[in-house]
Structure 1
Amino acid sequence: MADREDKNAENVAGKFYVDSQCIDCDLCRETAPKNFTRADDEGYSFVYKQPESDEEREQCIEAMEGCPVEAIGNDGED
């Protein structure tokens, strides 16, 4: 389970985030490319834009549920 106290610094404020457990597998970036991107120098993903539509929200949830190391969190904040 993702740890909100261990969020990657690049995450924008809001409901979804990626924590330091990310292994850079690319699943979230493929599943929700409008919301997740890669910190190239660090080698992990982060949320660069919170979802703005139902479709984006569903893609973020799918990415969270599919994350192999459970590094994506949803803390319920908007």
Structure 2
Amino acid sequence: EAAQTPVTPVSSEALTSLLTLIKQDPHDEQSARRHQKLMNDEAKTRRKTKSEILGKARVMSYEDIEAARAKRARQN
């Protein structure tokens, strides 16, 4: 049984009722199973995705950065 979308609350009692529904919904067994299934699907997707190596990186000092900027400025 799917949860129905509640109407927009107009009174304070309706708002309180809506907040109670929101607090109760994630804690029932069906919602917990759905949440676990979604989490497991995310893990499978991450494992299937191949990582691409775009290039090699290195840690640069400030002097290296300044030298690279100067070299780039000379090329332009």
TM-score between both structures, scaled by the size of structure 2: 0.24
Bigger radius of gyration: 2
Point out the structure with the larger helix share: 2
TM-score between both structures, scaled by the size of structure 1: 0.23
Point out the structure with the larger strand share: 1
